[in-house]
Each structure stands twice: as structure tokens, then as C-alpha cells.
Structure 1
Amino acid sequence: MSDLEKFRAETREWLAENCPEEMRDGDITAENQCWGGRQWEFQSEAQKRWFDAAVAKGYTVPTWPREYGGAGLKADEAKILAEELGRINARKPLSNFGISMLGPALLAFGTHEQKQMHLTAIARGEIRWCQGYSEPGAGSDLASLKTKCEDKGDHWLINGQKIWTSNADISDWIFCLVRTDFDAPKHKGITFILIDMASEGISVKPIVLISGHSPFCETFLDNVKVPKAYGENNLSVVGEVNRGWDVAKNLLVHERGMLGTMSPLRGATGPENLGGYAAEKIGLDATGRLDDPALRQKIAQAEIDDWAYTLTVERMNDEASNGNGLGAKSSMLKYAASELTKKGSELRMDIEGTKAATIGPDGIEHDSLANTWLYNRAYSILGGTTEVQLNIISKRVLELPDN
């Protein structure tokens, strides 16, 4: 038996012992994931047992170094773990922006002290992070941000506003882009800083969307004092002052890669069950096929697109694990995932027909098809608009000329 075969057998045995049956339903909705943080309350004993087991094993962040709470897995081992988790349809034991975005940026740019404080807390689910990037006047053109950060000797003084800050109202810390030099070219005067959301001067206002609910918030920073360091050699700034755009670009690759590696059409009515779901709602014709040829064709095409996308994700992850990285290719995954996510909700609306055209009298039935369809329009904007992704793909992946 090879080392990898042995690892697979051990992983399968560990999962059989430690992943409760209740956590093997593949449920990946925002409401049912474990997000961690100071305000988090476990939804069941099974969820807590799965979380505790994963933390102890380092499987909340399996590829991170052991000294920062990970399992130190190599790329081929991490792939096997992902396959075994998928085989039993396991939920993620922990999800948050610290894992998918800030963590990789800190691994690339952070000091040992920053990693020791922040990565360990992320891996243990102790801190929930939000992202302070977009501003009212700096969305697609992020580098035009205006949030002001002044050097006051022993601390930074920050004033400004962020928008579309997902889950800012229930997050503990924020990783934030601020402008420290207004005279420098716009990409050169930006700094990447870490701020405790409990700091005096931070206020948050949730944004209600047409769907009746959303995770988005406005975040206001009014004379917020941020210490230069959170202990010896543990600076609040990641990377160099005025060089935060380097960190920001690295993080955006991971954000778009994270958004692009979601399973946009899978779940309770994913490709494996979408045909049966449609047959139940619409019925079958005399030959035993879905009694709506147009919809039947749409479902078949969606399945083909989904499997092509899934194979592309696997191929790109293999390339990234060999040291090539995703780079600009993350925009391809983000664009494809956004389009497939919207297509999936549209298909479900087609299947339900007029029955789906309601969101309830209070407009906040979170699990209604109409709400999901309305909310999923946001995927064309969040994490970088579709137009921006297509520009990146054309220029940096396909290397097409400007004219």
C-alpha cells in the first residue's frame, strides 16, 4: 500500500468515527454552515462535535502549517481529504472569510507574530472576519478608495465608509484597505490593515435588498484609533505601508477562487436530482421523459455545463497545487460560477412556475425560490463584477489586444 493509499484509508476511518450522520447531508446554505466567532452559537450538538473534531485534527484549514492550527497536509493529501469529504457529503466544519481570503494573504505577507495571533484564531473558529474593500465611490475601480488613514505616532486614525461589507454586523474583526498617501498614484498610497470591530467609532448598518434580506452592510469608521501593533512585533498593518495593493491583489485572487469553486448547481435540487424534482412537479410524458421538451433541454444543458465547470475547477486546483497558482484564472472560475448560480435558480423558478413567484407577505422567506432567485443576481456584482472579470480574462488570460 502506498503512502497516499494509506492516508486515504486512515482519512476514511477518521471520518467514519468523527463526522456525525447529521453533518452528512451536504447542506451548504449560509444559514446552516458553522461560521465561528465571538457571537457564534452552535445549531446542534452534532455540529459542535464535528467542529471540535476538525479543529483538533487541523482539518478546518488542512493545508495550513501545524503551528498555525492546520494539519500541514500536502496538496495530494488535501485532495484526498476533499474527495473523502465529498464521498460522504459532509458539511464543512467551519467556513468564514478568514479561511478563504485573509488566511492565504497572511501566509504570503504576514509576519510570524501576525500569523501566530490571527491564523490560529481563525483555525479554531474564535474570530469571524469581514472584508472592508468596496466604498460608495470605489466599487469596480477599487483603487480609487478614499477611506483616510493618518499616522498619529502610536496609532492610526481612520475615517471613511465601506459598503457591501458582508456580515459586518456579526463579525469580530475586519481586514481593510485604507489610503495612507493621497498624493501618491492611486494604487501606491493604499495600506492593508487589521481592525477589531469592537473599536470605538465603528458603526454598522445592514442593507436590505429586493430579496427581503442580505448579508450586506454599510460600515462607518469615524475617528477610529487603531494601535500600531497588537503586541510585540505584531503590527496592525500587513505588508508595507502604502504597498497594500500588493496584499489586496493576492487576496482578491483567493476570493474569486473561493467564489469560483463553490458548487453552483448542486445541493438538494442539483444536477443529480434536478430532473427528478422537475418530473415530480411537471410530470412525465408517455415515453417516461419530462413532459416539457424545452425545460428538459435546459436541464440537460445545465448538467453538461456543471460537469464541465467541475472538471475545470479540479484541473485548475491541480495546477495551483503544483505551484503555478490560480492568478488571473480565478476570474474564469468566478465568472462561470456566477453564471451557473443564476442559471440554477432560474431553472428552479421555471420548474415551479407561477407557484415560485412569491416571497411571502413579509418578504423575508429566506428559503423561498423567489428570494433565492432575487438574491443570486448579486453574484454578478459581489467579488468583482462580471464586466471586470471578462476584462481580466480577455487581457490577462487570453492576452487579447485592446483594439
Structure 2
Amino acid sequence: MPRQCHSCHGYSDSYDEANLKRCSGCQKVYYCSASCQKNNWVYHIFDCKPRRPINTADYLALAVRQNLLPQHPQTCEDYGFGRAFTAEDKSKLLGLYIGLIDVLKVSPKTIHSWRTNGVLVEEIKATFYKVPERCRGGYFPWFLQNEHVLRGIPLSEDQLRNHGDAMILRAWRFTGGSETDSAEDARVAISHKSDAEQQCHVFYQLLLSKWHPCPSMDQWVAFGFAACESEEEEMHLGGCYQELINKCTFTEFCDAFRTYRLFDLLKSKELWVHTIQYLSDVLQGPMTKSVWTLKQYIFTEEEQAQMHPAVRVDYGFMNCRNDSEWRQLKRVYKAFFDTRDANPIALHEAAIKGKIYEFISGVVKGARNSKFQRLMKNLYPLPDV
């Protein structure tokens, strides 16, 4: 295979194959110029042998270059994405970092030093204030009103109440409620509706705030987000639902939810959801497979999250003798769901056959262990009656 610049791939105007130089770190790829090497470093650092440890600012720079929300958990924690209140806030925070890194050319090394020295907020402000106000973009003013996402300061009770009231009223008026009703009026009226309508109303509150459910919410399974295999898929599904509620009435939406026809309703409005592999399985009830509730429990961040009894029985948690075994079993299932092309339906089928260990040990590295063989026993298969 002919040598080629790992950055411009030979398409640079000044490209000269004779000047290709091998990367001194990994000795595997070539660059035609220092600028090409610098431009590609945000990607290549993860495949190379850098002289310093990779840090969360490197993951942040990669997300900026890809124009995607970061997926690396510690990066989300370090740079505020875990504290951004809505999906819209997360997007604006990403826009701030795009301006900082791609436009103002602040290096990941510098951003890392700001954070570790506890001056990230102050230095971001100082950097943007050096730019004429007309050139700062729309994300910096948002940041000035939302510094708490980087400072780690929780929202006050008043701020939380105001956010909640705004979400309720937005959904209440969208679904036909009176413009003159207060948030409390709306809460009382919603509380008298059926369980299905209440679920749908909470979901509308999230959608109209440019948000989607997280695993700790019932709506994460109820509306199919448990089927998504990545944050991008969750955002795509949320976008499809946002389109759907503008193409149908609230009554039509509630009827489809109550009768397990949401997947059909999405398809009937020509919304592109067939790429989410297991969505129809989650949405087309009436009985939700316990594997989706297992996934919800595994991905819920709260330490004291409640476990559904079916999960406890079906997936062996009833066999745990102490907290350590509980955590180990939970980590194995987390590793399964994090595996590329993990098949939750196959795990469900293994559970009802009483063969979880045989299945998991063939998928998750390190799970072939007599302890897990004991822990993953369940009551299945049930005897014929």
C-alpha cells in the first residue's frame, strides 16, 4: 500500500509524497507537513504513544472536532455536560467549547491546566473578553447565565422550581390547556388524568424542553429509549418524537401509547426510526421484557436505585450474598450492554432458558468464572404445567 498523509490523504495543495515523514510516536503513520500532523493530533493521540498521559481535555477536543456531545463519562463530569440541565443546554455548552478550541485556538493542554488549577471559568471568561463583543457568538452570553454547570454548584430550589414550572406550562399549553392557567392549576388538572395521560404529559414536558428521558425515569423504557445503543441514537429518537408531537394530537399520541402502537404511529408519520434495532420490541407491549428493566437499572446512576423484582429473580441478583457480589454482577451486565452489537433479546432468551452464564461468558471478557456461574442461576426454565 502506498504511503499517504494521515491527515490530508494527499489532497493538500502543497502535498509532496517525497516529503512524507513518519510519526515519531507510533512509527505507523505519515504526515506531509507539521500543520497536517498538528491538525490530525486530536484524533491520532488516541492511537499513538504520546509523551504525556491522555486526559479528559483530549476527549473534549475530540468531541469538538466531531461536533458531537462527549461520551467519555469523566469528560462529561469535568467539563459540565453532566450538570447541563437540558439537551439544549448541553448543545450550547458544546458550542462554547467549539468556539474556544476551534475558533479561538485554545489547546487541550491549556484547557486541562485551567481545570486542574481550578480557574476554568475565569480563564474562559478572560479568553472571550479579549474578543470584540460582536465576535463572541451566542454561546458565551448563555454561559455567563449558566456558570453553575462548570462550577459544580447545584441549582437553587427557586431555580429548580422555575425550571419545573416552565416545563409544565409549556407542555400544558401545547396540549390545549388554558393560557391563563398557573403551573399549579396545570399540576392539579394533570393529576386527575389517567396514568397513561400523565406519563405522556411528563414526556411532552421533556420533549418541548429539548430533552429526552434518562434511565432513572420511567419514560426511558416506556417510550423506547432503552433500545438505543448510544447517546446519538437517543438524541435521534428524541428528535423523531419532537417531530411526531407536531404531526399528531395529544389524544392521538396518548391512545397510541396506551394501546402499544407508538412504533406504528412513528412509522405512519414517516419518521426514520427503523435504524434503532430493538425499538419495536420495547414499544410493542403489553409485557415489557425484564431485560429492558435490567438495562435501566444498570444505567441508572443513583446508588440507591430501586430494582424491579423481575430483574432480581431473572438475572440472579437474588443469589448475591453481599454488596460486593451485587456490584460485581452489576459490572458484568454493564460490560455486556457496553459491548459493541450487544443483543439484549439474546440475553433475555438465555435468561428464560436458564442459561445466562453460558451466554454472558461467551460475550463478556473475564466473565468465565465459577462465581458468576453461581450468581447467574435463576428459576428458569419453568417446568411444564
Q: Does the pair score TM above 0.5?
A: no
TM-score by length of 2: 0.27
Q: Which has the higher helix share?
A: 2
By percentage of residues, which structure has more strand? 1
Structure ranking higher on relative contact order (CA contacts 8 Å, 6+ apart): 1
